[in-house]
Amino acid sequence: MRTFVWQGIDEPRMEIVRVESLARAHGTMVGVAYELRWELIGAELSVDVGEGARRIALAGADFFDLQHSAFFNSLPVLRDGLLTSTVPRDYTMRYVSVPDLTDVLTAQRYLPRGDGVVEFASGDYQADIEFDRDGFVREYRDYLRRVHP
């Protein structure tokens, strides 16, 4: 099992994630006014902000994208080898907003830039994400950075 910790750059926020595999991981996220616990088991994501767990199915999406969690940005990069590719990839994501835990399908694009950097785009939003050689987020520019390991 690997453990990662990320902190917010744009606002006070921390997340600790324990990764068993790309299909099995769990984490705790703490923001200014919420504490969220989540668990990914295959095609189901369980999320809880203290009001009881909500289970969300992937239901036709390629991956989950849990707001403020860097772990979920690693999933398409690792599965599809985006650190060794130059081909942009489009995905349909099951996006879960925090802390209200609503979920919607969103279109996202990952464009490999080389040297461990992938440009992320969704709607009008665009940002560079830097990954380590193992495919886990090191820094999501102006948004969050990894503090462990």
The SS3 call for residue 78 is helix
Q: What is the pLDDT of residues 61-100, one digit of tens each?
A: 999 999 999 999 999 999 999 999 999 999 999 999 999 9
Helical spans, DSSP H, in the chain? 71-79
Give the predicted TM-score (pTM) of the model.
0.94
Question: DSSP E strands: which ranges in the chain?
Answer: 2-8, 13-21, 24-31, 35-41, 44-48, 54-57, 63-66, 89-96, 103-114, 117-122, 125-131, 137-140, 144-148
Tokens of 147: 């503090």
- The pLDDT averaged over each successive group of 10 residues in the chain (149 residues) is 97 97 97 97 97 96 98 97 96 97 98 97 96 97 96
